[in-house]
Every structure is written in structure tokens, then in C-alpha cells.
């Protein structure tokens, strides 16, 4: 049975109009969820307030742009605390959905807050002081006062309960989905792409922001060990350069195998499937993820995946990937070597990964989000 007509105001200030690594992650989650909401629940009346409204949204989604430069943290905070509740009240919203950790203190109606991870609280050393302090205080307050919360994994749901003493029955899970464009690509097209990018026939790929939380120093150490047994090994570290990335580049320089490590920079969305599909294996040693979408995207492209066994990553990989302790470079080197040399094992992981990736769709994300709205009486 469909829900009664409800007017939902969505604060989507982290949508970005321009490409770049900061447009990934939360941007993708918000954009894809909203894009699929009309199909998930046609009787929702959704108005999105944002700086940059995508042009390809369904016509039933109303988008209102703000002139506030919400890319800048101070303006974003002022906007979500002062402007968002006012415009939600103006449209007489039944529900206000704050899509990025923090809800307005002055709430004009029942509020839903999406929390993606708790890295700012668990790893504060990786955040700038002002932003970390606001997230820490604002998310705690929002978690304790919002009508309902949405987490993007069961691990994050339980961390919210543990850190903020929020009852589990007030926290829903809406898993991310996999873009339909991410699928296995014709081998001839992959070969052309490798030639175009001057990539070898076999290489390991990491795709994500280059930052300490991704644990790339351990990966580089593991890769150097792996190279002793497999001298033809190549590692590609693709993605935007994040804060405190200097230690990653220092590790490359001191690794003894820097000539076998390539850092191509940010990967455009239209090339992501080609990068993922061209790799022999996808490696993701992150020490913390609220969900960890890149390994799932790699599986959707038919690439074997090796992930750390930390946080939500085992939840993502299921039995389709290899899970290794994030601080175990020897274990990582051994896992990489097995995938590298054993073609039949790679084929087995490929089939498992394709099955696992099909469990996650953006339409289901939207359905889970709509179900949260329906639970508010």
C-alpha cells in the first residue's frame, strides 16, 4: 500500500555541480536516492533545497537552488541552521530530511537525518579542527533529537547506537546502490583503454581519495613484499588527493618499488567502469568506512576484490571478496599474490562478486528511505 501524500523538504547542500573527488560518496548517495524516490513512492511530494540541482532529475522532484556558497563550510553550516528550517516551514513540509549528518536545531516538523559514518568521532586526527568540532557536536545532537535516523550500513547503525545511546529501533538502514553503468565491459574495449592509458595487461587498482584513513601506507608495504615474488606487479592508486596525503607519497618514495606505482589522479565517472574492469584485482585496505562503495562497484564490473576486515567492509564484500586485517601487510601480500597468479581463483571471485553486487540497487535505497518517511506518524 502506498503512503499517504506527504510533503518532504530535503536539505541537499552537499550536492555539487562540478566534477571532482569531493563530488563522489555523499553526493552520489544523495543524488541517486532522490532520483529514484518518485519510483519508490509516487505519492511523496519532494522539494530539494540545494546549491546545485542536477538537470536530469525526474520532473516530479522540485528543486530550489540557493545563492549561498554552501561549498564553503561556514556558509553551509549557516545555511543548514538558519535557511533550511525557514524554507521547510514556508512550503509547509510534513518531514524535513537533513541528508548530511546534522539537522537544524530549530526544527519546523519531524526530522530525518542521514549519517554516513562516524569517522570524525573515531578518527578526529584526520579532520580539520572546526569541521571536526561541528560534526562531532552537531551529529550527536541530531542523533539524539531527530525523529528517525538513516544509516548506510548495519555497522554504522550499531556505532550510532553505541556512541550516542540512540535506540536501535529509531535507526533505519538504507544501503547504497550500484550505478547501472557499472557492469562488465567487452574485453576488446578494456584492451583499448589500457593502451590509451599506457597501463599494463595486469595491475592492482585502488580507487578512492588518497588520505590516511584509506590505509595506503600498509598497501604500499604489502605491494613491495608482493613484488619480491612477482616482479611484474603494478599498482595504480587512483583518486583525488585528500587532506594529509603527504604520508602516502612519502611511502611511495621510500618503498623501493616506486617505479611500479602509478598515481593517475581523479577518475571521471564516465571512465570508472573502464578503470575497474581493466584491473586484475581491486584492493581496498581502508581502516574505516561507513559502507565502502568502491569495492562493490569493482565487483559489479567483474573484478576480484580484496578488502580490509574493518568496520562495514565485510558487510559489503560478504563471501565474494577476500578480507584481510588492515594492519597485516604480510597477509595482504599473500592474498594479492594468490589472486595474481591463480586464474581459476580470480574467475571464482569474479562470479561471486557479480552475484553480491546485484543485491544493492539505488531503487532499493530509495524504497528504504521512503519506508523511513512512512514510519513517521
pLDDT of residue 72: 82
The yes-or-no verdict on residue 201 having pLDDT over 60 is: yes
Q: For 232-244, how does the pLDDT look when each residue is reduced to its tens digit (9 = 90+)?
A: 999 999 999 988 8
Every domain of the chain with CATH number 3.40.50.2000 lies at: 6-177+361-374, 187-357
Q: For 243-294, how does the pLDDT look when each residue is reduced to its tens digit (9 = 90+)?
A: 889 999 999 999 999 999 999 999 998 999 999 999 999 999 999 999 999 9
Higher pLDDT, 93 or 124: 93
Top-level CATH class of 6-177+361-374? alpha beta
Cell, residue 319: 563471501
Alpha helices in the chain (DSSP H): 26-40, 73-78, 84-90, 119-122, 129-145, 154-164, 187-196, 216-229, 246-254, 272-278, 293-300, 313-317, 329-341, 343-357, 362-374
pLDDT of residue 161: 98
Which candidate, 312, 361, 317, 313, places its Cα nearest to that of 33? 361
Average pLDDT for 135-162: 97
Q: How confident is the model at residue 336 (pLDDT cuts 50, 70, 90)?
A: very high
pLDDT of residue 4: 55
Average pLDDT for 170-180: 96
Cell, residue 364: 532499493
Q: How confident is the model at residue 130 (pLDDT cuts 50, 70, 90)?
A: confident
Higher pLDDT, 194 or 19: 194
Q: How confident is the model at residue 27 (pLDDT cuts 50, 70, 90)?
A: confident
The yes-or-no verdict on residue 22 having pLDDT over 80 is: no
Give the pTM.
0.91
Average pLDDT for 203-212: 95
pLDDT of residue 21: 41
The yes-or-no verdict on residue 189 having pLDDT over 50 is: yes
pLDDT of residue 167: 98
317/319 Cα distance (integer angstroms) = 6
- N-term to C-term CA, the chain: 16
Report in angstroms the alpha-carbon separations of 108 from 26, 48, 68, 146, 293.
Answer: 25, 16, 21, 12, 33
120/101 Cα distance (integer angstroms) = 11
Q: For 340-376, how does the pLDDT look when each residue is reduced to its tens digit (9 = 90+)?
A: 999 999 999 999 999 999 999 999 999 999 999 999 9
Q: For 288-314, how does the pLDDT look when each residue is reduced to its tens digit (9 = 90+)?
A: 999 999 999 999 999 999 999 999 999
What is the average pLDDT value for the chain, to the nearest integer? 93
64/131 Cα distance (integer angstroms) = 26
Q: For 69-106, how does the pLDDT look when each residue is reduced to its tens digit (9 = 90+)?
A: 887 888 889 999 999 999 999 999 999 999 999 999 99
pLDDT of residue 334: 98
β-sheet bridge partners, residue 265 = 238
Q: Give the CATH number of domain 187-357.
A: 3.40.50.2000
Using CB atoms within 10 Å of the CB of residue 223, give its burial: 0 to 12 exposed, 13 to 18 middle, 19+ buried.
Answer: buried
pLDDT of residue 1: 45
Least trusted range by pLDDT, from 1-15, 71-85, 203-217, 251-265: 1-15
198/4 Cα distance (integer angstroms) = 55
pLDDT of residue 55: 66
The yes-or-no verdict on residue 172 having pLDDT over 70 is: yes
270/85 Cα distance (integer angstroms) = 36
The yes-or-no verdict on residue 225 having pLDDT over 90 is: yes
pLDDT of residue 13: 86
Q: Extract long-range pairs of 137-143: CB within 8 Å, 24+ residues apart.
A: 138/101, 138/102, 139/101, 139/102, 139/115, 139/164, 140/164, 141/102, 141/105, 142/98, 142/101, 142/102, 142/103, 142/111, 142/113, 142/115, 143/113, 143/115
294/288 Cα distance (integer angstroms) = 13
Amino acid at each position: 500500500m502506498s503512503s499517504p501524500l506527504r510533503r518532504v523538504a530535503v536539505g541537499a547542500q552537499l550536492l555539487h555541480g562540478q566534477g571532482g573527488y569531493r563530488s563522489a560518496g555523499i553526493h552520489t548517495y544523495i543524488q541517486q536516492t532522490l532520483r529514484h524516490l518518485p519510483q519508490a513512492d509516487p505519492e511523496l511530494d519532494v522539494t530539494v533545497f540545494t546549491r546545485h540541482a542536477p538537470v536530469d532529475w525526474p520532473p516530479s522532484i522540485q528543486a530550489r537552488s540557493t545563492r549561498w556558497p554552501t561549498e564553503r563550510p561556514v556558509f553551509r553550516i549557516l545555511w543548514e541552521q538558519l535557511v533550511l528550517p525557514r524554507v521547510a516551514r514556508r512550503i509547509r513540509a510534513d518531514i524535513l530530511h537533513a541528508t548530511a549528518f546534522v539537522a537544524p536545531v530549530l526544527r519546523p516538523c519531524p526530522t530525518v537525518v542521514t549519517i554516513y559514518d562516524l569517522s570524525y568521532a573515531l578518527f578526529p586526527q584526520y579532520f580539520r579542527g572546526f569541521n571536526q568540532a561541528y560534526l562531532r557536536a552537531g551529529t550527536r545532537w541530531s542523533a539524539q533529537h531527530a525523529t528517525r535516523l538513516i544509516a548506510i550500513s548495519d555497522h554504522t547503525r550499531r556505532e550510532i547506537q553505541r556512541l550516542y545511546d540512540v535506540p536501535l529501533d529509531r535507526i533505519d538502514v538504507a544501503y547504497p546502490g550500484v550505478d547501472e553503468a557499472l557492469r562488465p565491459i567487452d574485453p576488446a574495449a578494456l584492451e583499448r583503454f589500457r593502451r590509451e592509458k599506457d597501463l599494463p595487461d595486469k595491475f592492482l587498482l585502488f580507487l578512492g581519495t588518497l588520505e590516511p584513513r584509506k590505509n595506503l601506507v600498509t598497501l604500499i608495504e604489502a605491494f613491495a613484499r608482493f613484488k619480491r615474488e612477482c616482479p611484474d606487479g603494478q599498482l595504480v592508486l587512483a583518486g583525488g588527493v585528500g587532506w594529509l596525503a603527504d604520508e602516502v607519497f612519502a611511502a611511495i618514495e621510500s618503498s623501493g618499488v616506486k617505479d611500479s606505482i602509478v598515481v593517475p589522479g581523479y577518475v571521471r565517472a564516465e571512465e570508472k567502469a573502464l578503470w575497474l574492469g581493466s584491473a586484475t584485482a581491486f584492493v581496498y585496505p581502508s581502516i574505516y568506512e561507513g559502507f565502502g562503495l568502491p569495492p562493490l562497484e569493482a565487483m559489479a564490473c567483474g573484478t576480484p576484490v580484496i578488502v580490509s576486515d574493518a568496520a562495514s567492509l565485510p558487510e559489503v564484500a560478504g563471501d565474494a571478496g577476500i578480507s584481510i586485517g588492515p594492519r597485516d601487510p604480510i597477509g595482504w601480500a599473500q592474498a594479492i599474490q594468490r589472486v595474481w597468479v591463480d586464474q581459476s581463483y580470480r574467475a571464482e571471485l569474479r562470479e561471486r562478486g557479480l552475484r553480491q553486487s546485484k543485491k544493492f540497487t539505488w531503487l532499493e535505497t530509495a524504497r528504504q528511505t521512503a519506508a523511513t518517511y512512512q514510519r513517521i506518524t
